[in-house]
A and B are shown apart, each in its own frame.
Chain A
Amino acid sequence: MNAAGNAHPRPLLAARDLRVRIGGRHILHDVHLDVAPHGVTALLGRNGAGKTTTVRAILGLVPRTGSILLDGQDVSGLRTHVLVRRGIGYAPEDRGVFTALTVAENLRLAERPGSRPPDYALVHDLFPELRQRAGQPAGTLSGGQQQMVAIARTLLADNRLVIVDEPTKGLAPKIVTEVAEALERAARAVPVLMVEQNLAVVRRLATTCAVLVDGRTAYAGEAAPLLADPRATRRLLGVASGSTRGGQDPPGARASAAESPDTREAQS
């Protein structure tokens, strides 16, 4: 099972030998990651395994070595904004919402002048609330609403890949369901790389996944077999996946269950 090959012949994004050193400490040692050209690829791991650093390294937000291929093209040397303009939308772990700006201004920043017109129809269809709160300072929004802004920004532009880092972190169960539904719909149009600790959400959305352990890739492949194997999830993620029910619960029940301690990944 370890380091199994990706089922897709050519990944949309491929990171090879990704290494990151911060403050003299090796955070990532030798990360290999393939993002499938369709659906949701989940990046899993315990706290501190290097998931967020991997995403930031891919985007060039932290100094790194290794290669990054986007659609077969080497983009390792590109600066963050140039890489993003190649078609990557990013919603970071802390949501990256500009609290002093309004909702509309936050969304305007994600527009890319000179490329396809921003898809406000999709965004307002997924998150009607954002239209009503357009003039409201983003700092006064709830956590769930801020997450909507963060995800909406990734969907406005003509992106080839959307990267979301812990989109359900700290959200109420009802909002987790809404966010999961939005990502599910978004993933029909654009591939998604999702860092997530909520295994119920992973089970619902992800087709492929990679697991990091101590800054190294410990598993890469189909998500379902891993999540169906309680021993593997316990060994790699530190938690039993509750796999006997995997993929069979109704969405709301799964999202609610996701907040319970036994399905939330171990907070080690």
Chain B
Amino acid sequence: MDTLVLLTMTGLGLGALYFLIASGLSLIFGLMDVLNFAHGALLSVGAYACWWAASGHLPGAGPHGAGFVLAVAFGVVTGTLAAVALEVGVVRPLYARPREQVLANVGVGLAVPALLSGIWGSDARTFPVPDALSGTVTLLGARVPANRILLIGCALAVLVGLRVLLGRTRAGLVVRAGVQDRAMVSALGIDVRRAFTLVFALGGALAALGGALGGVYFGEVDPGQGTSLLIYAFVVVVVGGMSSVTGAAAACVAVGLLQQFANYFTTAGLGDLAVVVLLAVVLLVRPRGLMGRLT
């Protein structure tokens, strides 16, 4: 029983991490038809910015307490700014040329990890984890790492926040309308490009948060972490249904749990294969994914 609880919480924690990346990816694809291959780079930027700040380089930030919260906030702000720069500088000029846009995004996705390697080396760096998150919490008799609880809590808060944003605000209404027909949104007098930038900034902020919390989860950060996680985020977006945030959340739970249970009960590494099999099955049985629209 302890093992099942631990596996479940670890799987949900991993799924929560995927959700932080996939929700932004899903929004960006849904609204802008942009497959953002540079999304992993945004995660890495957030992770390294948080690590840099928490390592004592940012005044007031540190590895514990409020200092760590400030470090995470710094990582999120840095990731957000990087996302805005990416949208304005790379994605926006290439809206009319989707092929070049994909290539440019892939280029950024490769260049940023290389840049991080060049500055801080390609070896993994130990991520400063606050004491409060390095311990365990007893849950149904199992000792569950506290960082899993944090990840799950953050993902739930993000899910609720996104649903409120999309369902209750004018900005969310514009995003939902833009997913269906961008030209018509413009024809109603709405600057859809502002919605694009907003969504990119939001996606960047969530990816950066995922990077910072991923550092806590893995206990280290390396330049390729974002790219590795991006692959699973893409799987989640496809399984959940392109442009469906709720679908992405459901898919994250499925993928995280499947990966953990398959790795534990079969052979280590088979969990990754199981995820690919899940993707293939969903594409065959339900090509639109679990939920095919922005909800």
A→B interface (CB under 8 Å) = 59, 61, 79-82, 84-85, 90, 92, 96, 98-101, 105, 108-110, 112-113, 153, 157
Majority secondary structure of chain B interface residues (helix, strand, loop or mixed): helix
Please tell me which one of the listed residues B179, B185, B191 contacts residue A109 in the complex, with CB atoms under 8 A apart: B185
The yes or no answer to B177 lying at the interface (CB within 8 A) is yes
User: Binary interface profile of B, 174-213, with partner A (CB < 8 Å = 1, else 0)?
Assistant: 1011011101111111111000000000000000000000
- How far does the Cβ of A157 sit from chain B's closest Cβ, in whole Å? 7
- CB within 8 Å for A92 and B187 given contacts A108-B170, A113-B170: yes
A157 to B189, CA, bound (A): 10
A84 to B185, CA, bound (A): 11
A143 to B293, CA, bound (A): 22
Residues of B within 8 A of A113 (CB): 170
B→A interface (CB under 8 Å) = 170, 173-174, 176-177, 179-181, 183-192, 293-294
Residues of A within 8 A of B181 (CB): 96, 98
Instruction: Assess the A100–B294 pair: CB atoms within 8 A.
Output: yes
Please tell me which one of the listed residues A82, A84, A100 contacts residue B188 in the complex, with CB atoms under 8 A apart: A84
Q: Taking each of B170, B189, B191, which has the highest tally of chain A beta carbons within 10 Å of its own beta carbon?
A: B189
Residues of B within 8 A of A110 (CB): 188-189
- CB within 8 Å for A153 and B170 given contacts A98-B181, A101-B177: no
A135 to B124, CA, bound (A): 53
A212 to B188, CA, bound (A): 26
Instruction: Assess the A100–B176 pair: CB atoms within 8 A.
Output: yes
- CB within 8 Å for A81 and B184 given contacts A105-B173, A109-B174, A113-B170: no
Q: What residue of chain A has the Cβ atom nearest to residue B179's Cβ?
A: A100
Residues of A within 8 A of B176 (CB): 98, 100-101, 105
Q: Taking each of A79, A80, A84, A110, which has the highest tally of chain B beta carbons within 10 Å of its own beta carbon?
A: A80
- How far does the Cβ of A103 sit from chain B's closest Cβ, in whole Å? 13
- How far does the Cβ of B67 sit from chain A's closest Cβ, in whole Å? 40
Instruction: Assess the B184–A98 pair: CB atoms within 8 A.
Output: yes
Residues of B within 8 A of A81 (CB): 186-192
